[in-house]
Amino acid sequence: MGKIDDLADELHGSLASVTVTVATMAENWEQQKKTNEMTNQSISEIHSNLSRLTEMMTRIVANQSNPTTINGIRRRVNRIRQISQRILHLCVRLGRYSDDDRLDLLSITLKGPALHWFNREMSREPFRDWPQFKKRMIARFSQKMEENPGKRLFSLRQTSSIADCDRD
């Protein structure tokens, strides 16, 4: 019976260790969730502040009559937009988001034709996952060989020697 008791004690000790490890992991998981929520809230606040700044700068530009002043303000607005986009992209990259979270963030990181396409696709047939988004994005925006003669030219590869071509 002594050996069984020793094994039972060893098992209880191992289970206690596993229980502590699982509890620690659960605490860390909750902390990570809180951090992600705070990051998401910060990104939302940044986006909302940038929208307000853009609206304000647009109103200022509309009220100006001096072309020099208008150009200067436009340059500043464009610079603010560039900086805000960089900050947003940095936040997204540093956030190490899951693929599902990336899909949620696309609407604030895409712009121009890509944003219009994304919104249209989301209203027609929403993306199920990140790989599906990438596949559909590449299919939509990659050029076909026939549409881009330069791409076709640069894709040509030599398959035989020059001497073989000379004989023909």
Chain-wide mean pLDDT for the chain?
79
| pTM of the predicted model as reported, rounded to 2 decimal places | 0.38
Provide the pLDDT for residue 40: 83
The pLDDT value given to residue 23: 92
| Euclidean distance between CA atoms 25 and 43, whole angstroms | 27
Summarize pLDDT for 74-97 with one digit per residue, the tens. Answer: 788 888 877 777 777 767 666 677
CB atoms within 10 A of CB 111: 11
Q: Which one has a higher pLDDT value, 148 or 19?
A: 19
pLDDT of 144 above 70: no
To 10 degrees, the CA torsion angle through 53, 56, 61, 62?
Answer: 150
Find which of 26-35, 71-80, 135-144 is predicted with most confidence, using mean pLDDT: 26-35
Instruction: Give the chain's end-to-end CA distance (angstroms, integer).
Output: 93
Tens-place pLDDT, residues 102-133? 777 777 778 888 888 888 998 999 888 888 98
* Beta strand residue intervals within the chain, DSSP E: none
Dist CA 46 CA 81 (whole Å): 12
Could you tell me which residues come within 8 angstroms of residue 34 by beta carbon, excluding any fewer than 6 positions away?
none
Q: What is the pLDDT of residue 27?
A: 92
**CA–CA distance from 48 to each of 51, 55, 119 (Å)?**
5, 11, 19
